[in-house]
Amino acid sequence: MISRSTIDKVFEAARVEEVIGDYVQLKKSGSNFKGLSPFTDERTPSFMVSPVKQIWKDFSSGKGGNAVAFLMEHEHFTYPEAIRYLAKKYQIEVEETQQSTEEKEHASERESMMLVTEYAQEFYSDTLWNTESGKAIGLSYFKERGFSEETIRHFGLGYNPDQWDAFTSAALDKGYSLEFLEKTGLTIVKPATAEGSSEKRFDRFKGRVLFPIHSMSGRVLGFGGRTLSSHKKQAKYLNSPESEIYHKSKVLYGIYYAKQAIAREDVCYLVEGYTDVIQLYQSGIENVVASSGTALSSEQIRLIRRLTQNIVVLFDGDEAGLRASLRGIDLILEEGMNVRICSFPQGEDPDSFARNNSKDAIEAYLTDNAQDFIQFKAALLTREAANDPIRKAETVRDIVGSIARIPDRIKREIYVQECASLLGVSEGVLFSTLAQLGKKQALDQSRKPAPAPMEVVPPQPEDDRVDLQYELERKIIEMLLLYGMETQQFEDLVLKENEEGELTLEPEISEVRVFEKVYLDLQEDEIELTHEHFRKIYFALIEKLNEEGEFQIQDLMRDSDQELASEISAILMEEERYQLHQWERKDIYPKPKKNSIAQLVSETILSLRCYLIKRRIETLQKKTEGAGSEDHSEVLEEIVNYLQLNKLLNTKLNRVLS
């Protein structure tokens, strides 16, 4: 268990904009930051971060909270994992109390697998540096590749001995479960084949150098292992298998080390292999990631898109590699990103080029040789088509097919114009081909099997579209959170009887703090909030304000569970939603609520009173229904009094009752 003092230090040190900035490219928007949602696939920002309130809100998914809540949502951390991650980020020593056996047993399967992979990384690294075989074989190999000791340690590279179960035996001796060793793919278990024989266990990465594959937050998800054997039947590279924690299509090698540089430089270099990433990083090009030897996927591209809209794909110099990699470019275009391509001289790849050149020379080469995808693809395919008119026509169609994938119409038109100039084909023909491709895609879509017919559900009785009590209670919490400590002048309406014996509301002016006004009015009418979340927040706020006269949003968020924290952030960030729409560009200026706090508070409480009176009248009316001979005179008198009061309150609210 993490001590309370450590948790307090973490919350004091952690800055929500810094934590989220590691995962999402944030841009200044007034006093806040905005960016693309990391939880949904969107192209228009709906994600807001408030440095002042130290909270975030994702309007597309409805999620929100503080820095810890973000890590729990995005990285699927448990609360202790999120605290440990932030403690490491802000260099805070974690003080822990002893964890009970029961608590250890309740650790999630995912976390157990993470602990196994983290131990594996430590084991492989220790073997590399502190054993004779590790230094002679593994360390020698990495140094031959040109990696410095500092780089090898930075990327956590390692070596597994060329023994059947060196790692598995060590892990079992340390108390790690065979179940999770097998589920992570680190250990392969062969069941017993005959009666009396025992199952066999051996290391997946026997005799290989290891490249740990990290999540964006730095957790070890799996490994890439390269054999140093010359045996032809043995795969050169071997990755961890798919598991609960490792999905190849959703991970990019090096993203943990590159994320800050990608956001800072506003461009990501995409390469193919582990050594390409490491060699470029060592040369000073830190904003580089690899697709880990798998075909580039949409999920990987979206991972980059959170940090930048710009990708430069770095290809090996050979023609076969270029052709194979072009397929991934269409996926990048589909995601609405800007893509450029840079190929290296014949016989060179990013690894060898970075090893033989300085940082300045590499940057100059990338700047001078990175081409727009149209220029690159046109040059490559035209060179292949030579003077063959049929192949040239196929080349044009291929390039137009790539342009058709771009979601932005303006970009499509510009690319068509550029393509016409490069290939000597009229724009009209290209636009016509583009339209034909669009029709074909629509036709293909329409030919897909129709979904199963929906089950006919008999009409249900309609509920109220809006839960008015929920909205009013939410508004009360909003006022306490935003303006609870402010002093305002309120015009209270006191119920009095005039000379004719009629009830009237007479105004009285008082100057009090907002939380006092809300608390006293609700107490006077014996009104209790009915929704559990609002009730919890209300009592926490009122207690803090009555005792200390103030509260801190950060303290409130820290002491709330994830669901409650999300509700609080949703309320606090409601005003920031308007910044996303940029209404001022259309000469529309939403009126700030702060200009009419007293009126807002009074109208909300009056509206809640009217709603509860209406509910009370409906309850009393039900008592009078039926043909019984019971005397309802007292109930009817009470209804009349409530109707009269309701009329007075609605008059104050400038409402006309039918």
CATH code where residue 37 lies:
3.90.580.10
**Residue of 212 and 260 predicted with greater confidence:** 212
- Asked if residue 159 has pLDDT above 90, the reply is yes
Q: Please provide residue 518's backbone torsions phi and psi, each rounded to the nearest 5 degrees.
A: -65, -45
Q: How many domains does the chain fold into?
A: 4
Least confident of 143-147, 350-354, 581-585, 612-616: 581-585
Place of tokens 């009785």: 461
Enumerate the H helices of 550-596 as residue ranges: 553-558, 562-572, 577-581
Judge whether 537 lies within some domain. Answer: yes
By the 8 A CB rule, do 245 and 3 touch? no
Look at 637 and 66; give whichever has higher pLDDT.
66
Mean residue pLDDT of the chain comes to 83
Residue 268: give its domain's CATH number: 3.40.1360.10
Answer yes or no: are the C-beta atoms of 84 and 71 closer than 8 Å. Answer: no
153 contacts: CB under 8 Å, gap ≥ 6: 125
Give the pLDDT score at 580.
58
Cα 19–chain centre separation: 12
Contact 96, 599 (CB under 8 A): no
Is 384 in a helix, a strand, or coil? helix
Angle (CA) 184-190-194 rounded to 5° is: 160
**pLDDT tier at 521 (50, 70, 90 boundaries)?**
confident
Q: Is residue 224 pLDDT above 90, yes or no?
A: yes
The closest of 550, 495, 529 to 605, measured between CA atoms, is 529
User: Looking at 82, 102, 122, which one is the last position of a domain?
Assistant: 102
Averaged pLDDT, 437-449: 68
Are residues 538 and 390 part of one domain? no
User: 153 and 81: one domain?
Assistant: no
Whether 317 and 346 have beta carbons less than 8 Å apart is answered as yes
Q: Is residue 117 part of a domain?
A: yes
- Of 246, 267, 285, the last residue of a domain is 246
Q: What are phi and psi of 171, to 5 degrees?
A: -65, -40
Would you say residue 170 lies in a domain?
A: yes
Question: Do 91 and 164 lie in a common domain?
Answer: no
Joined together, the tokens standing for residue 140 give: 């020698």
Please give the model's pTM, rounded to 2 decimal places.
0.70
* Other beta carbons less than 10 A from residue 128's beta carbon: 25
Do 280 and 271 form a contact (C-beta atoms < 8 A)?
yes
CA atoms within 13 A on the CB side of 142: 29
Nearest to 415 by CA among 375, 383, 371: 375
- Sheet with 208-214, strands from edge to edge, namely 158-159, 208-214, 220-227, 237-239
The whole-number average pLDDT for the span 646-651 is 69
Q: Is residue 574 situated within a structural domain?
A: yes
Residue 602 reports pLDDT greater than 70? yes
Pairing mode, strands 288-290 and 268-271: parallel
Asked if residue 480 and residue 438 are part of one domain, the reply reads: no
| DSSP state letter for 134 | I
Same domain, 413 and 486: no
Residue 629 counted as domain residue:
no
423 and 293 co-located in one domain = yes
* Distance in angstroms (rounded) separating the CA atoms of residues 180 and 176: 8
Average pLDDT rounded to a whole number, residues 377-381: 77
Say if 643 falls within a structural domain: no
List the one residue out of 255, 286, 274 whose CA is nearest residue 23.
255
Tokens of residue 269, six digits: 């270099």
Produce one character per residue of 394-414: b if its CB has 16 or more CB atoms within 10 Å, e if not.
ebbeebbebbbbbeeeeebee
Report whether 423 contacts 403 (CB < 8 A).
no
Question: Which of 34, 53, 51 has the alpha carbon at shortest distance from 582?
Answer: 34
| In a shared domain, residues 535 and 388 | no
What is the per-residue pLDDT for 459? 47
- Does any domain span residue 577? yes
Q: Which helix (H) or strand (E) holds 237?
A: strand 237-239
Instruction: Answer yes or no: do 377 and 474 share one domain.
Output: no
Range with the largest mean pLDDT of 72-86, 217-231, 605-619: 217-231
Average pLDDT over residues 414-426: 87
| Alpha-carbon distances, residue 184 vs 76, 111, 177, 328, 465 (angstroms) | 17, 11, 11, 28, 48
Q: Report residue 261 as tokens.
A: 């540089």
Residue 457 confidence (pLDDT): 42
CA angle 329, 37, 291 (to 5 degrees): 35
- Compute the half-sphere exposure of residue 630: CA atoms within 13 Å on the CB side of its CA: 10
Q: Over the Cα atoms of the chain, what is R_g?
A: 33
Same domain flag for 273 and 419: yes
Res 461: pLDDT: 47
- Measured CA to CA, the distance from residue 412 to residue 336 in angstroms comes to 11
Q: Is the dihedral of CA 274, 278, 284, 289 positive or negative?
A: positive
Place of tokens 């014949």: 346
343 falls in which pLDDT band (50, 70, 90)? confident
Between the CA of residue 431 and those of 227, 407, 410, what are the distances in Å?
51, 15, 13
Question: Which residues constitute the domain of residue 229?
Answer: 108-246
Shared domain check, 306 and 336: yes
Pairing of strands 64-65, 55-58: antiparallel
Indicate whether 641 belongs to any domain.
no
| Most trustworthy range by pLDDT among 5-9, 460-464, 596-600 | 5-9
Among the listed residues 196, 65, 203, the one whose alpha carbon sits nearest the alpha carbon of residue 127: 203
Most confident of 118-132, 317-331, 471-485: 118-132
Q: Are residues 228 and 290 in the same domain?
A: no
Tell me which of 380, 411, 444 is where a domain ends: 444
Asked if 358 and 287 sit in the same domain, the reply is yes
Q: Please report, as a single letter, which amino acid is at residue 596.
A: S
Split at pLDDT 50, 70, 90, the class of 319 is: low
